[in-house]
Amino acid sequence: MINIDKIITAKNNNSTLIIINKKSINNLNSSFVDDKQIEYIRKSVEENDIKSFSFNLVSHYVFVEIVEENSIEYKTKEVYRRLGGKMLKECDRCFVKDLQITSIDVNKENILAFIEGMMINSYTFDSYKTDPKRLIHPFDNLHVVHKDIDIKDIEQLRIIIEATEKCKDLVNEPVTVINAETLAANFVSMGQEANIKVDVWHKEKIEKEKMGGLLAVNRGSVDPPTFTIMDYCPKDAVNKRPIVLVGKGLVYDTGGLNLKPDDFMNDMKEDMAGAATMACSIYACARLNLPIHIIGLFPSTDNRPCGNAYASGDIINMYDGTNVEVINTDAEGRMILADALAFAKQYNPKLVIEASTLTGAASRAIGPFGIAAIEQDAEDFMQIVKMCGREVYERIAEFPFWDEYNDIIVSDIADIKNCGEKYAGMITAGKFLAYFTSYPFIHLDIAGVAMNEKETDYRGKGATAYGLRLVVECMRKLSKN
């Protein structure tokens, strides 16, 4: 991770980035660039709308970035995040290891967004590369010159980025490393580090509690399931009733007996991204000392077509007594989540937010640009989640949740079935989950955003931790209300 500190004044002999609000281009008068360079910059901006400049001064570089801010605040922050990701690549290209940034007419929030983009883009997952020269980012140190930014701002940002990196590591690891038990062990370690109470149920306890959905999906696996409960309850919590975060911990999904076709299994190590995202969100909230009581529930197993694997046509008796007809064994995530959602009732929660890589339908509907979501009895909370999504640019696309969709999961021989028709797949999956709730409920389908197939502005390939910053921002907002 990049080392970041605040300095009072920039040094002349260090590589420097000057960020300028385009409206203030005429105020450029810096000791880091001479009069000819300033004139060149102004002329290039005016005549050719060039916004990026790089001056190689042999001993160091001077970079100048002209930013045209958007009239919408959250979009401007995203411009700065993308600039941060871009500057990391530029520093790597020029082998700049140490950079100081100064600015002209750029506010604190936008500079912090720039730093955030740079830090997010600095993540690498290369522990399995054996080449000793595998270093991807030579960049090490960032020094911030801004009168309104203090060390606390930087530390809070660092905590959130550290949480996202933990999440990415968990999702990027193969199932040979992260099975249900080792995933739970990682949650225990996070709890010890951040003073969060963590309780892990193993197979015997899960059987005793009759979590039929989780046990059914686990039947084809040689590894036992786990059910992890995280409880962050600070003494100054503002909420008498907890917020419950639920995450899908499917460490690998073959589809079961309804085996996934073609190459759809390639990224199925990501199927526990919901649990990783929510657990690491709680970890971040605890380290930020947010005064809010949060409980995390994380059912975990893999889904294999082995041994006595559950099969289409089976009737599964769930934790709350509901009988579910299995239509498709690849609709396994909702089976394990249903037990967790039913279990959550005992907490009388103020709100339950659940995240999962649940349906390809969500990804096909909106692509890799945001989270597909539904709410039940949580309209006001959904508005807060949407607002927070815009703030951190992990945006929410809310789908309709009309009563007519309930008919699609009605079973002829059981209470409900685990898969509906060939349409509205994201919504009907949400309907299945909502069947097991009796409280304000929000479902976040992160299937389209949990992994990147290609590098973007400040998110590299592989796991993204998309949704974590959204949840932390949401908890921050709720802790103030």
Q: Which residues are catalytic?
A: 260, 334
Place of tokens 């290039």: 44
Judge contact between 461 and 454, C-beta under 8 A. yes
Closest Cα partner for 170 from 221, 125, 135, 237? 125
Q: What is the DSSP secondary-structure string of 182-216?
A: HHHHHHHHHHHHHT-EEEEE-HHHHHHHT-HHHHH
371 closest CA partner among 455, 456, 303, 277? 277
The number of CA neighbours under 13 Å toward the Cβ of 321 is 0
Which residue in the block uniquely carries the two structure tokens 């909230």? Answer: 285
Helix (H) or strand (E) holding 426: helix 425-434
Nearest-angstrom CA–CA distance, 265 and 305: 13
DSSP labels for 51-67? -EEEEE-SS-EEEEEEE
Task: Return the structure tokens found at 305.
Answer: 């077509």
Q: How many helices (H) and strands (E) does the chain have?
A: 13, 20
Which distant-in-sequence residues (6+ apart) come within 8 Å of 275 by Cβ?
183, 228, 247, 248, 249, 298, 300
Q: What is the spatial order of strands in the sheet that 323-325 belongs to?
A: 315-317, 323-325, 416-417
